């Protein structure tokens, strides 16, 4: 292949992760930790507690991403830092890696080839995202950080929270620090709650969008990617104009003569 020089010099691509590059979200990661306590009894209790909390998490997320973060990350209170970090590798191999969207890695590779700086911008916890960032080969990872006191989680996040409008602020700060032109940069997300990060770049792109974001993308004519399709397979939009000659009703047979 004729290798062309990178076309973009001061551009970055910012990716939301949960739902955008991977099919799962932070609740799956927490459930993974909950299931892996030292004692079976504790694992069972944690798992049941997590399952029971899901409606609360869902409701909080619908009301405010900030509330959701405050309620959700309280669940980590008392967890040991070393345990969380060590299990993160296993979390990646067992849970995250099988749930990476089939076309996500290719998207990042094509983007990097064009000379664009690759940045993951996630509301998930940084130690759970590090193996993914390494696997995808991105340049930078910006994620939420748990507050630890004496190596035990307090259940609070360090500020600023990586969510909603704060993501846009973080991107502006990052762009300034790395001499990035946001007008020549990309943002990828699946959720309407990330509208601010789409609003600050010149090339907003939505991936596997929820209904509200899809409607918004259609209104603004933003590109819509479906990273869930297997590479090499065609998408299956409703056929139009697929008129078949009614006279052509022959039964198929094999090409190979036997």
Partner 1 sequence: MRAIRPKIRSHTREHIVTIDTDSAPRIMFSGENLIMEDLPVGTRVIYPNRPMTPVANPKAAIRYALNHPESCEPLHALLEPGMKVTIAVDDISMPLPIMRTPDVRELVLEIVCEMLADHGVDDVHIIIALGLHRRMHDWEIKRMVGQKVWDEFWPDRLYNHDGCDPDGMVVLGKTPHGELVEMNRRVAESDLTIYVNLNFVPMNGGNKSMAVGLCGYESLKAHHTPKAIVESSSYMDPPKSYLSHSFKRQGDLVEKSLKVFHIETVLNNRAFDGPLSFLTKNEDDFTESDRLKYQAMKWTLDKLPFAARREIFMRTPAAYELIACYAGACDPTHDKTLAKQNEQNCVEVQGAADILLMGIPYISPYNVNSKALNPLLVQVMALGYFYHMYRNTPLLRDGGVLILTHPCSDKFDPVHHPSYIEFFNRILTETTDAYTIETKYQDELAYNPSYVEMYRHGNAYHGAHPCFMWYWGQRGREKTSRVIVVGADNATVPAIMGWETAGSIAEAIAMARGTMGRSAQITMMHHPPYMISDVT
- Applying CB under 8 A, the residues found at the interface with partner 1 are 1-4, 7-8, 13, 103, 106-107, 110-111, 113-114, 116, 186, 203, 205, 218, 221, 223-226, 229, 231-237, 239-245, 248, 252-257
Q: How far is the CB of 134 from partner 1 (least distance, A)?
A: 21
If we measure between CA atoms, which residue out of 137, 133, 113, 114 comes closest to residue 122? 133
Asked if 121 and 170 touch (Cβ cutoff 8 Å), the reply is: yes
Residue 20 or 128 having the CB closest to partner 1: 20
Residue 44 or 183 having the CB closest to partner 1: 183
Whole-angstrom distance, CA of residue 204 vs CA of residue 224:
9
Cα end-to-end span (Å), the chain: 40
Q: How far is the CB of 181 from partner 1 (least distance, A)?
A: 12
Residue 118 or 128 having the CB closest to partner 1: 118
If we measure between CA atoms, which residue out of 145, 45, 24 comes closest to residue 94? 24
* Peptide bond preceding 140 in cis form (omega within 30 of 0): no
Residue 55 or 257 having the CB closest to partner 1: 257
Asked if 123 and 163 touch (Cβ cutoff 8 Å), the reply is: yes
CA contacts within 13 A on the Cβ side of 208: 18
Residue 93 or 226 having the CB closest to partner 1: 226
Q: How far is the CB of 253 from partner 1 (least distance, A)?
A: 6
Q: How far is the CB of 42 from partner 1 (least distance, A)?
A: 44
Residue 87 CA to its chain's centroid (Å): 20
Q: How far is the CB of 25 from partner 1 (least distance, A)?
A: 23
């Amino acid at each position: 292949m004729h290798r062309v020089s990178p076309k973009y010099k001061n551009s970055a691509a910012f990716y939301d992760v949960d739902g955008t590059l991977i099919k799962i979200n932070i609740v799956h990661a927490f459930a993974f930790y909950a299931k892996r306590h030292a004692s079976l009894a504790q694992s069972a209790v944690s798992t049941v507690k997590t399952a029971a909390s899901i409606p609360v998490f869902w409701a909080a997320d619908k009301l405010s991403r900030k509330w959701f973060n405050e309620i959700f990350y309280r669940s980590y209170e008392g967890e040991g830092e070393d345990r969380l970090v060590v299990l993160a590798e296993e979390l990646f191999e067992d849970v995250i890696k099988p749930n990476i969207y089939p076309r996500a890695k290719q998207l990042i590779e094509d983007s990097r080839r064009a000379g664009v700086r690759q940045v993951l911008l996630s509301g998930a916890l940084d130690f759970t995202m590090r193996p993914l960032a390494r696997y995808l080969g991105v340049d930078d990872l910006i994620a939420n950080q748990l507050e630890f006191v004496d190596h035990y989680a307090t259940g609070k996040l360090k500020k600023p929270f990586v969510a909603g409008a704060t993501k846009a602020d973080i991107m502006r700060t990052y762009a300034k620090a790395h001499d990035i032109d946001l007008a020549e940069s990309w943002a990828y997300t699946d959720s309407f709650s990330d509208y601010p990060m789409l609003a600050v770049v010149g090339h907003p792109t939505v991936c596997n969008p929820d209904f509200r974001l899809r409607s918004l993308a259609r209104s603004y004519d933003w590109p819509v990617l479906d990273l869930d399709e297997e590479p090499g397979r065609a998408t299956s939009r409703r056929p139009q104009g697929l008129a078949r000659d009614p006279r052509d009703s022959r039964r198929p047979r094999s090409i190979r003569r036997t």
